[in-house]
Each structure stands twice: as structure tokens, then as C-alpha cells.
Chain A
Amino acid sequence: MSAVEIKRNERIIQRIFLVIAFSSIFSLFLIALFIFVEGLPMIWKVGLKDFLLSTRWAPTKGYFGIFSMIVSSFWVTIGALLFGGPLGLMCSIFLVEFASFRVRAIIKPALELLAGIPSVVYGFLGVVYLVPLIRDYLGGPGLSLLTSCIILGIMILPTVISISVDALVAVPHSYREAAFSLGATHWQTTYMVTVHAAKSGIITALVLGMGRAVGETMAVIMIAGNALKIPLSPLDPIRTLTSNIALEMGYASGMHRQALFATGIVLFFFVMALNLIAAIFAHRERLG
């Protein structure tokens, strides 16, 4: 082949690869398109305020208010963060700063194994072990907001721990040594210097964990109770946006189906908001 032909082939190949590269964009675009095309008209018809702020969800009778589910999803995410965040952080600090290399070498693979366990297994164990505990000692039906927060918190532990560990390990030793040379104790060094330096990585870990919690569906269906009411106490059963989609997807049609897509839009925004918060924090760290 002549040089000109080679050059032309190269350009064509480059273009093919460009098309392939846009495949991921294409699928995202397709999903977004679908969800918005199906969901927006319904929001228009019902009215954004009624859709987001009404607590009455009775699709077969024409009521499409998802407020109680928005509240539930919100609390579940916060709760999961409360249970999984500090615990995960403590664990990762322990693993990096205070544990021996041998301990870390055993635990890290175990954590990766746990990260791979299907979420439905966590849900099942929650139903078998946690729900009766909460029902007998704290009250309520056991299937509740609290149960969901605890199980989701446990579910995000492996993610939070491994990313935080990576972030902490990435902090250069010189930072710690500098603090030591100034007379700081190990703990003082850790919380004043190391954790501070790893802040953006740790925040990424927490946000990724929250993202996983808000998107979790099947496990939540098993433990949350799926009641269509705003939880007045952590012991009340709840239904999240995700569970609602899963419970009704099989038979929804017409406006009901559109309402599920509209719920998807709301979820999209939830996740996007989380990513934005993470990006802002990361950006600020880079500047500061």
C-alpha cells in the first residue's frame, strides 16, 4: 500500500474508533432520551408541584404524588451515610495508620470479596437477623427506615473503606514525618495532617457510597416494608423511589408507566446532585 493509502486507512480507523467511543455516550444518551421523553409529558400533565410535593401515590386512580418516596429515599441515603461513613472511616484509618502490614494484607482482599457480594444477600440477612431484633427490642414491624439505613450502611462499608484506604495510603509519608518531627503524637498526626490531606479521596468514598445507597433497589424491597407513607419515626416502614419503580414496573402502562420514568428523572437528579457535591469538594481541595 502506498503512503497515501495508509494515511487514509488510518483516518478511517480513527473515525471508527471515534464512533465506538461514542457508544458509551450513545447508550447514556439513549437512556436519558427515553426517560425524559417518557417522563416529562407526564410531569407536564400532572404539574411539577403536584408530582413532587403531593403525598398521594395511587396511580390506578390518577394520583401521582411521590413526595413520601422522595423523603424516604433522602432519609435512607443520609442514614446509610451515618451508619457506614464514620464506621468505614474509622476502619480505614485503623487499617492504614495503626494496623500492621500483615493485617492489612489479609483484610483488603476480604473487603473486595465483600464488595462483590450481591446486595440481595445483604437484604436477606437483614430480614433474617436484623428485622426480628428491631421488631422485638425497638418496636414497630421491624421492616423500617432504621433497618434500611443499617443494612445499606453495612453494604457501603467495603466501598467506603477501600477507597478511603487508597486515599490515606496516597498521602506522602513526608507529611507524617514532618508532623512527627514537630512533636505530634500518632493520633494528632492522623487527624490533623493525614486525614486532612486525604480529604478529597475520603469525600469521594463517601459520595460513592451514598450513590450506591440511593440506587439500591432489591435489598431495600426486602427490608423497608414498602409502605406509602412519610416515615414519622425511624421505625416506620418506608418506600424509596427505587423500590417503587421495581414494584410497579411489570404492570404499569400509559400514564402510570410515564410516572415511573418521571421518578427515574428525579433519581437522575439525585445522583447528579451527589456527584456535583463531590466534584465541588474535590475542586475546593485542589485549590486549597
Chain B
Amino acid sequence: MTPRRAEHIALGLMISGAFLALAILFFIIAVIMIKGLPHITTRFLLDNPMDMGRAGGIFSTIVSTVYLLIVSLIIAIPLGVGTAIYLTEYTVEGKITKIVRFGTECLAGVPSIILGLFGFILFVIKLGFGWSVLSGGISLAIMILPVIIRTSEEAIKAVPQSFRDVNEVLGGSKWQGVTRLVLPNAAPGILTGVILSVGRGIGETAVVIFTLGTSLRTPFSIFDSGRSMAVHFYIIAREGISMANAYATAAVLVFSILFINIFSYYLMHRFVKGRT
């Protein structure tokens, strides 16, 4: 077997493997789009589900999803960014930072069903919040916390030391330096992390179904139950309630992820442009 021969065979193998992988993945997007797009009408997006999801639209699920994400971000962003600020600005590498980082990594590895179990027993039952946006929001916040910490840390670290030096020279306190110079500069990077978590949160089912619940009503107060889009998709797809609506919901989900990704790319672009 000459090296030339091996090269050709290997190349052939790589290309077929790659082609297979990519074909499968594109098939997935294609099927969802082809079967789902025709059913996405303005009525579908603005009407509430009727008849267990057989008819009507998905409006209440959209509201539930957005509401849930907002609550979890309100909890996770201050905690996450705060942690990142602490790790980069207020300490040096030592035992404490190692413990915090280790904790974050472990938290990132917790399977989502365990978070669901934890959230269900602690928030829904023991603390009496019931199936609610609050229970779901806190549980989801715990899930996205590691992502926000990690990306915020990267973003803050990327702010050049010169900024902090200038602050010191001008006699500003550390707090002033952080809030007036470092954070605004790291904002796009932090925002990217936030957007990433939103992407994860939109698709999350195991945590949400046991904490937010499966009610088809539109949640109003933070103690109301609701049904996120991913959970709605899971239920109507599994029970064969409506294939058309299932595909349409999946298509809406894919589009949301698409917009989120595009938005984060745009931000990263701005980030890079603004720095040069």
C-alpha cells in the first residue's frame, strides 16, 4: 500500500463519513422545514392551542417560553456575571477560585433530569411554589448558570489590562473600574453567553416539564403554570395529537434558534469590530 494509495482511500473514507454525517443533519433540518413551514401562519402564532393542541396555534406556549426565559435570565445573569467578575477582578488564582471553577464544571455536567427532579421536589412540592414560572425559572437558571459564568469570564478576561491600569492611574476605585470600563467593554461577549443560554433554554424539556408544568393556559403571574414550546412539541408529537402542528412547532423552534444564532453572530461581529 503506497502512501499515495492510502491517501486516496483515507480521503475517500473521510469524505464519505463527513458526507453521511452532514447528510443526516441536513435531512433533519430539511424534514422539519418542509413539513412544518406550510403550517406556520400568523393564526398559528397568535392563536392559543385548542382541543389539546389538535387545533389552534401555539401562542400561549410562546408566551410561556419567553416568560420562563426572562425569569431564568433575571436570576442567572446577575449571579453568573457576578461570579465571573469575582473570579477575574477580585481575586487571584488560588484555592477559592479552584473550588468555584470546579463547582461550575460539576454543575454543567449535572444531567437535566436530575435538575428536573430537584426542581420538582424542592420548588414545586416542598417550597409550595407549585407548577409555575417561578419553579421553572429558578431550575432553568441553575442549568444555564455555568454557561453564563464561563462565557462572561472569557469576555471579561479579554478586556485588555490597559483599561484597568488607566482606571487605577486616574484614581478610580475598583468598583468604578469594573462598572464603568470593564463591563461595558465585555458586554458583547457576555451577551453572547446569554444568547447561548437562551438557545439551550428554549430547547430544554426535562427540566421544564416537571417544574413549569404542562398547562395550556397563558401564564400571567409568576406563580401560574404554562407549557413551553419544546414541552408542547413533545406532548403533541408523542401522543400523535397532530402531526402538522408538531412539525410546525418544531419549525418555529428551529427558526428561533436560527435567529438567536444570527443575532449572536451579529453581536460578536460588532464586538470584534468595536475593538479594532
Contacts and interface: CB of A to CB of B under 8 A. Distances in A.
A145 interface: no
Interface stretch (B41-49, B77-85, B162-170, B182-190): B77-85
Interface of A: 6, 9-10, 13-14, 17-18, 20-25, 27-31, 34-35, 38, 86-91, 93-95, 97-99, 107, 109-114, 116-122, 124-125, 127, 129, 154, 157-158, 161, 184-188, 190-191, 211, 214-215, 217-218, 222, 242, 245-246, 249-250, 257, 260-261, 264, 267-268, 271-272, 274-275
Question: Which 4 pairs across A and B sit closest by C-beta, in order of nearness?
Answer: A90-B17, A215-B111, A118-B203, A20-B82
Contacts of B122: 30, 34
Interface residues of B, number: 84
Contacts, number: 241
B261 A116 contact: yes
Contacts of A93: 14, 18
Contacts of B202: 116, 118
30 contacts: A17-B89, A18-B96, A24-B79, A24-B104, A27-B107, A30-B122, A34-B121, A87-B21, A90-B17, A91-B17, A93-B18, A99-B18, A117-B28, A117-B254, A120-B203, A120-B205, A121-B250, A127-B238, A157-B21, A185-B6, A185-B7, A186-B11, A187-B6, A187-B10, A214-B111, A215-B111, A217-B206, A245-B113, A249-B116, A271-B109
A30 to B, nearest CB: 8
> Of B6, B16, B90, which is in contact with the most chain A CB atoms at under 10 Å from its CB?
B90
Given A35-B118, A98-B11, A185 B4 contact: yes
B6 A21 contact: no
Interface stretch (B52-60, B66-74, B215-223, B229-237): B229-237
Interface of B: 3-4, 6-7, 10-11, 13-18, 20-22, 24-26, 28-29, 31-32, 78-80, 82-83, 85-87, 89-91, 96, 99-100, 103-107, 109-118, 120-122, 142, 145-146, 149, 173-175, 199-200, 202-206, 209-210, 230, 233-234, 237-238, 246, 250, 253-254, 257-258, 260-261, 265
A246 B142 CA distance: 19
Contacts of B15: 94, 98
A257 B120 CA distance: 12
Contacts of B114: 31, 35, 245, 264, 267-268
A190 B115 CA distance: 41
B21 A6 contact: no
Contacts of A257: 121
A99 B105 CA distance: 34
B21 to A, nearest CB: 4
Nearest to A253: B125
B118 A113 contact: no
Contacts of B100: 21-22, 24-25
Contacts of A268: 110, 114
B118 A21 contact: no
Given A18-B90, A154-B28, 12 more contacts: A24-B107, A38-B121, A90-B16, A99-B18, A110-B25, A110-B29, A118-B204, A120-B233, A157-B25, A218-B206, A246-B206, A257-B121
B18 to A, nearest CB: 4
Contacts of B175: 9-10, 13
Given A10-B175, A109-B261, A249-B117, A271 B110 contact: yes
B14 A98 contact: yes
B14 A90 contact: yes
A142 B131 CA distance: 35
Nearest to B258: A113
Given A21-B86, A95-B18, A158-B25, A116 B260 contact: yes
Contacts of B113: 215, 217, 242, 245-246
B18 A94 contact: yes
A245 B117 contact: yes
